[in-house]
Structure 1
Amino acid sequence: MSYFRPPWLSRRFIESLLSPKRFAFLEACAIGLISALAAVLLKQGVGSLGAWRVHQSQAHPAILALPAIGLVGGYGAGILVEYLAPEASGTGLAQVKAMLAGVPMTMNLRVAAVKMVSTILTVGSGLTLGRQGPTLQIGASLAEALSRWIPTSPDYRCQMIAAGAAAGLAAGFNAPITGVLFVVEELLHDVSSFTLGSAILASFVGAVVSRLLGGGDWDLNLELVASRANFSALDIPFLLLLGAIAGLFSGLFSRSIVAGLNFNRRFIKLSLPLRMGLAGLVSGAAIALFPVAFRDNTGLREFLSTGEANIGIVAIAFVAKFALTTIAYGSGAPGGLFAPALVLGSALGCLVGLCSQALFGIGEPTTYALAGMGAFFSGVAKVPITAIAIVFEITTDFNLVLPLMITSVTAFIVSGKVARGSLYDALLVAKGIDLKQDYSSNATLTKLTADDVMQRQVETLESHLTLDRVRQAFSRSHHRGFPVVENGQLVGTVSQSDLPDITQHQVPEDCPLQDIMTPQPVTVHPTDTLSDVLYQLNRYKISRLPVTEGRRLVGIITRSDIIRVEANVLGGRGEGRVRGAPSYVVYQTRAPEIGRGRLLVPLANPRTAPMLLQLAATIARDRHSEIECLNIVSIARHKTPSETPVSTTLGRRLLGQGRRVGKQWNLCVHTQIRAACDVSEATLETIRERHIDLLLMGWKGRNFKPDRIFGDAVDTLIRQASCDIILVKWGRTASVEPNPTAKLPQFDRWLIPIGGGPNVREALRLLPSLIALGKTPSIHLCQVFDPNESNPDRTALREAKAFLFDRLGCPITTASVLGFSVADTILDIARTRRSDVVLLGASRKSLLSRVVRGNIARDIIHGCKCTAIVVRSADP
């Protein structure tokens, strides 16, 4: 999303007038002002719609008016969330917490606007949710948008987003202390001066503006006309009991909220607008049966906290609020859980107070109701300090501090036994996000090593080269520097900036490189973390570092490599990738399990599926394996696979071809169709669940992303799958029209480059079953050596021939070829010999960069016109 940034709002212009620290605090004040305006607008919108709803329930039969308003409001909000901003569903607090933990989340003006309007519709139309949680997400989203207008570092942006969240919560409750404490206790777990300073300023401004525009009185003492809370030592046992009960039910409440979400995803096969409309209908119908006080959330809380209700009414209020909140939130409706938790706590405290007063004549129901509010909130969010502060700021009654401390701490301890962690952590886990993992780019720098990121195909210069040859090397390459090696060991480096200096000193053209290079260069070890590598790059102000084991050069790492890794993390790719909702099986068939192994064949392309199935049948017959045919229906990432309607027509047609091939070859064939947000994750789930030994998949032969070898899905599978993998790119002789009886291209002339390693060995083990596809197969083994290599080692070539000679009854030839480029040399051999198939080995590490040597498999599979098969062994 692009943003317009006026020149006078640029960070450089403002910082020229202010010091950085003052500028940060000025920005926090601006965030507090904007967040407060949004909170006031949300409050007024919910209040106006809620008042109109109550009026309609009095002017018309409530049993008709309330369900109708709930249905329309819920459905309308669902339309907005479904099509404009799926991130606006739920409370929003969990999303903010995840974003501050480093998880990629969408927070912008669009999310803030949709969150505001949809919350007005849901809360105002009668769904039993609150508006304070959404104000927190709205404030954070506005702060994030402001940080894009005024670009900042990631750490600074997190501080401003946290300040926006604090301002939103402070404005929602008119409670600035609560806003600050909640950020420190739940969101950032940080008490640095910068965090506290920005959060305090934003919360203060937010609360002031909210009180100014929202109609609150400036004199807090006027709100405390007389202390309503009474507390004595005799109340302590009953307050402890209240804390324990609140802890128990708050833990059950947290579990029920998560269970409600899971139930809707698995069993309610309706779209999000229909689910939310249905929740509004149910809520309206239930509330219509209760007293008038139940129709307004704020009025219900005040009604319970006065202690005037009898035990029956309070019990009904607790059960109804508990159930309706679970239904409303489970539907995915935007709305908070702060207000429902306070109402539930108030009802629970009032019940305990009424019972203790009736049985023992001890206790004031009002005091217990207010203490129960803090206890229940503490048990749900696991923030006892914030719970004490929020009730104190709402009531401004110092007599409540001790009761709140007793009940909140007790509830915090007891609820931890029922539901570990806060409710918001559980909501994130339900979405596949576990904050116990560190998703930040800083964590990536400390977890990954140079071995994970470095480039292993390194262009080097020999130490005996002359200056003229060195200049030629720089002119042919895009690199600005080279490692200098001697007998495979690093002896120095030379950079392009050195050459002008050499010219000025009139160095002769035949001067050897060892006389002008930089000896004893700075190096790193493969086990050094990226954080250490980055420190060395910054310390010596260089752009690349050789990676060595002893003195042997094993790779090179540049700033670009580190930037690429961090970009992948921020974009949700590669290391630190956040998994979405699990895939969902929508169709499956099972055959008798009589094979020794299981081969998985993902089917997606009707043109190549018949050929892929014939290849799978050949391998399965030779290995005595079963075949698992898989079709994956992709859905949008913001949707849940288990609740999204999908079409299985194409999938059933493809899987039907698999079953026919199974009957033809007398093989056991299982089939399944999965709905999934991510094809690679769904395939990995299938591999784990079905205990797959071999994955056979086709490749279209194109990749439009420069930082990928074969593409997102294939790269992920080659890197992470726990089974053997065969990747096939069909040659141009293959059928391009959908045809269930399509014949395989020729599989007679095989070209196999030899480079050693487990992947090539696995390819050779597969060859006996693969050559059965040809009529008169012949094998040509080749190994490419550098022309400068004086004594090439041909051991791998001889071992490969000996291995195949005992297993194949076809001609086998070998050749040692000289060439500077392994890929180009193999492509030339394939063209010269008119090879039908090129069989290669692949690797899973470092974005597949080690394939025989470097990115050779990628270059060959891209460049060859014949069929190419890449094999990756499951062995490390």
Structure 2
Amino acid sequence: MQKIQHDSQTKQLFRAILIGLLAGIVVSLFRLAIQHLLEFVGHSFQYFHTHPVWLIPWALGSVVLALALGIMAQRNPNIKGSGIPQVEGQLTSQFDEKWWPVLWRKFVGGILAIGSGLYLGREGPSIQLGATVGQGVAETMHANQLDRQVGIASGAAAGLSAAFNAPIASTIFILEEVYHNFSPVIWLATFVSALCSNLVSMVFFGLHPVLDVPYNHMLPTRYYWHLIVLGLLLGLLGRFYQVVILRLGKWTAKLKWLPPFAYPVIPFLLVMPIAWYWPQTLGGGNQLIGLLHQLPISLWLFIGLFVLRFVFSMISYASQLPGGIFLPILTLGAVLGAVYCALMVQLGLLPARYLPNFVIYAMAGYFACISKAPFTAILLITEMVGSLAHLMPLATVAVTAYLVVDSLHGEPVYTAMFNAFIGKHPQRCEHSATVPVTIYKGAALDGRLIKDFDWPANSIVTLIYRGEDKLIPNGKTKLMAGDTILVRANFAPDKRAYRQIMNAAHRADV
């Protein structure tokens, strides 16, 4: 029995390494193509300043490209947006998709949409690209249902790791925000894949931090009260962001005069004046983040940048093209940090030399409250900036902003997007799947015998992971907090069975 378990773990780790390497190659090429296309757009508009007549064919070409991408996205709804809700649905056995059609369409569509300068991020698409690679490897190797899920999770973490060069944060993000489960069945494979993917990405892009925000001064403790105030501000604006982004679908549906496939025409035309006047702001925003500390400390300049980034990122995302909100959220947070610092400098409450610090802190806080994933936010910014020196300020801002959104009943944005997505694309038939579920302390299943719980019809607990041990359960087996149980069940479109099991494992009031 132990030899069988060891062989199974060995195969799983071999798949994780393979998935990490392949996802690293795919996402690195994706990232590289977007980078070169954005540079081409910037150079083109520099040329147009002296030859403006070329704006006419550029505009016509933009309309044609926008319509082509719009038609592709409407015919293949699984490639719309960031792709994180789709991956979450796969990992919770509430949604499924074929990997190859999504992989190549997301790859091509994402490059053209993000590389054209729209305010969309590459990170969400990178997660979905990695997940399709993981799914493809698992299916090619004829893995079982559970190993297929592990492959998807591993690929998703690898995709984010290659996009950000942040393997630890990528693993935590998949477990904390996408999978909502710190299962030992999942975490090791995802971490191994993320490390291998990060290695490939470093070969392509070197060891330089993705977000290079140089700082020369540590924030003294006498200024720590600013972190609380900043966190409160970020929490309020983060909740506003959630409300707007989640209502975009209803607002765009009111444009009866414009068919959905033509939605991308609007941002593709609007991006032209932005590329003409503010080419540094194009794309997801990592270039702008690196430039903030070089700009004059002007409150109105930073407010203007925030309004521009916020409005056009919403317009870009409403186009329903392949592209995410991950990096745009970080960019908005960075600009808000600059806004706050400029205001405090103007009031004489903070020295100007701490502006880079607040740019870094606000990125973590804004992402933490919108995604409701504070661990990910703290680790992500730490890895991307390349320094552990900001852990305490990052944690203070992130937790404060998180608590504000939580008190305002804000839902994790990717979970809310998934619920909206699955409502529009329900699975049409009942399907059987194995789902790993971790039991929380004090939950309804904690301390209960398997036979004493009213399980959904046609469901069975097939295996229990308890520490390093694997237990074959029966009705008299007592479940404990920290156990990860594998549940085989039929999941119908209404998701009642899935919700019943997850609520019993995570909550006491069932």
Where does residue 383 of structure 1 map in the other structure?
Answer: 373
Counterparts of 1:114 and 1:527, CA distance in 2: 40
* 2:253 corresponds to: 265
Find the counterpart in structure 2 of residue 531 from structure 1. Answer: 459
Q: Cα offset for 1:149?
A: 0.8
Distance 1:404 1:373 in 2: 9
One-letter amino acid of the counterpart of residue 401, structure 1:
L
In structure 2, the residue matched to 1:787 is none
| Distance in 2, Cα, partners of 1:73 & 1:130 | 19
Distance 1:348 1:574 in 2: 39
Q: Displacement of 1:121 after TM fit?
A: 0.8
- Deviations along 1:458-509, one digit per CA (max 9) or x if unpaired, are xxxxxxxxxxxxxxxxxxxxxxxxxxxxxxxxxxxxxxxxxxxxxxxxxxxx
Matched residues in 1 for 2:316 and 2:303: separation?
20
Distance 1:224 1:115, change over 3 A: closer
- Structure 1: runs of 5 or more not aligned: 1-14, 447-525, 541-562, 579-876
Post-superposition offset of 1:270: 3.0
Shift of 1:212: 0.5
CA-to-partner distance for each residue in 1:670-719, whole Å, 9 max, x for gaps? xxxxxxxxxxxxxxxxxxxxxxxxxxxxxxxxxxxxxxxxxxxxxxxxxx
Q: Is the 8 A contact 1:251 1:380 kept in 2?
A: yes
Alignment of 1:89-488 (within 5 A): 89-213=80-204, 215-217=205-207, 227-285=215-273, 287-288=274-275, 290-295=277-282, 297-306=285-294, 308-363=296-351, 364-418=354-408, 420-433=410-423, 441=432
Superposition pairs for residues 679-718 of structure 1, below 5 Å? none
Kindly state the Cα deviation for residue 107 of structure 1 after the two structures are TM-superposed: 4.1
Which residue of the other structure, out of 73, 77, 100, is the alignment partner of 2:69? 77
Supply the AA of the counterpart residue of 2:145. P
Give 1:153 deviation, angstroms.
2.3
Assess, with a 3 A threshold, how the Cα gap between structure 1 residues 137 and 432 changes in structure 2: closer, same or farther. closer
Distance of 1:278 and 1:267 partners within structure 2: 12
Cα-to-partner distance string for 1:612-660 (whole Å, 9 max, x where unaligned): xxxxxxxxxxxxxxxxxxxxxxxxxxxxxxxxxxxxxxxxxxxxxxxxx
Residue 123 of structure 1 contacts residue 130 of structure 1 at CA under 8 Å; is this kept in 2?
yes
Task: Report how far residue 176 of structure 1 moved.
Answer: 0.7
Which residue number in structure 1 is paired with residue 18 of structure 2? 30
Q: Offset of 1:443 from its aligned partner?
A: 9.2
Kept after mapping to 1: 8 A contact 2:211/2:384: no
CA contact (8 A) 1:293 1:299 kept: yes
Residues 1:19 and 2:10 aligned together? no
Q: Which has the higher strand share?
A: 1
- SS of match in other structure, 2:23: helix
Counterpart residue type for residue 239 of structure 1: L
Secondary structure class of the residue paired with 2:124: helix
RMSD: 3.5
C-alpha contact (below 8 Å) 1:229/1:397 kept by paired residues: no
| Letter in structure 2 aligned against 1:420 | G
Amino acid at match of 1:116: F
The structure 2 residue matched to 1:60, chosen from 40, 44, 48, is 48
Aligned counterparts of 1:342 and 1:131: Cα–Cα separation in 2: 12
1:361, CA displacement in angstroms? 4.2
Following superposition, the deviation at residue 54 of structure 1 comes to: 0.7
- 1:334 Cα deviation after fit: 1.1
Conserved in 1, the CA contact under 8 Å of 2:27 and 2:159?
Answer: yes
- Report the identity percentage: 24
CA distance in 1, matches of 2:456, 2:41: 64
Task: Determine the C-alpha separation between the residues in 1 that align with 2:115 and 2:359.
Answer: 25
Aligned equivalents of 1:573, 1:346: Cα separation in 2: 40
Whether contact under 8 Å (2:239, 2:408) holds in the other structure is yes
Aligned to 2:468: none
Counterpart code for 2:410? R
Q: Which runs of 4+ in 1 moved over 6 A?
A: 222-226, 532-535, 573-578
Conserved? CA contact 2:114–2:323, under 8 Å: yes
Per the TM alignment, residue 192 of structure 1 is displaced from its structure 2 partner at its CA by 3.3
The AA in structure 1 aligned to 2:458 is L
Mapped contact 1:375–1:412 kept (Cα < 8 A): yes
Closer, same or farther in 2 for the Cα pair 1:419/1:316, shift >3 Å? farther
Q: Within 2, Cα distance between the matches of 1:528 and 1:289?
A: 59
The one-letter code sitting in structure 1 at the alignment partner of 2:201 is S
1:314 aligned counterpart, secondary structure: helix
How far apart are the structure 2 equivalents of 1:428 and 1:331?
A: 18
How has the CA–CA distance of structure 1 residues 440 and 170 changed in structure 2, closer, same or farther, with 3 Å as cutoff?
farther
Q: Structure 1 residue 307: deviation in Å?
A: 5.8
The one-character-per-residue Cα deviations of 1:250-279 (angstroms, maximum 9, x if unpaired) are: 111111111112211233443333111222
Shift of 1:189: 2.8
TM-score by length of 2: 0.79
Distance in 1 (CA, whole Å) between partners of 2:494 and 2:234 is: 42
Q: Which residue of 2 aligns with 1:51?
A: 39
How do 1:388-787 residues align onto structure 2 when only pairs under 5 Å count? 388-418=378-408, 420-433=410-423, 441=432, 529-531=457-459, 566=490, 569=491, 572=493
* d(CA) in 2 for partners of 1:79, 1:147: 30
Separation in 1, partners of 2:364, 2:431: 33
3-state SS of the aligned residue for 2:231? helix
* Structure 2: segments with no counterpart, 5+ residues: 425-429, 438-453, 464-471, 475-487, 500-510
Taking a change above 3 Å as real, the CA distance of residues 223 and 251 of structure 1, as seen in their structure-2 partners, is closer
1:718 corresponds to which residue? none
Q: Deviations over 1:228-287 (max 9, x none)?
A: 3521112211111111111111111111111112211233443333111222212333x1
C-alpha contact (below 8 Å) 1:35/1:168 kept by paired residues: yes
Other structure's SS at 1:99 match: helix
- State how far apart, in whole Å, the 2-side matches of 1:43 and 1:191 are: 29
Q: Report which of the two has the higher share of helix.
A: 2
Rg comparison, structure with higher value: 1
Q: Which amino acid aligns with 1:276?
A: P
How far off is 1:160 after superposition? 1.3
Distance in 2 separating the partners of 1:305 and 1:89: 34
Q: Flag the 1:217–1:431 CA change in 2: closer, same or farther, 3 A.
A: closer
| 1:350-369 deviation line (CA, Å, top 9, x unaligned) | 11111112213425111001
Higher relative contact order structure (alpha carbons within 8 Å, sequence separation ≥ 6): 2
Question: C-alpha offsets along residues 484-538 of structure 1, whole Å, 9 cap, x if unaligned?
Answer: xxxxxxxxxxxxxxxxxxxxxxxxxxxxxxxxxxxxxxxxxx9994336999xx9
Letter in 1 for 2:105: V
The alpha-carbon deviation at position 395 of structure 1 amounts to 0.9
Structure 1 residues 242 and 440: alpha-carbon distance in aligned structure 2, compared to 1, 3 A threshold: farther
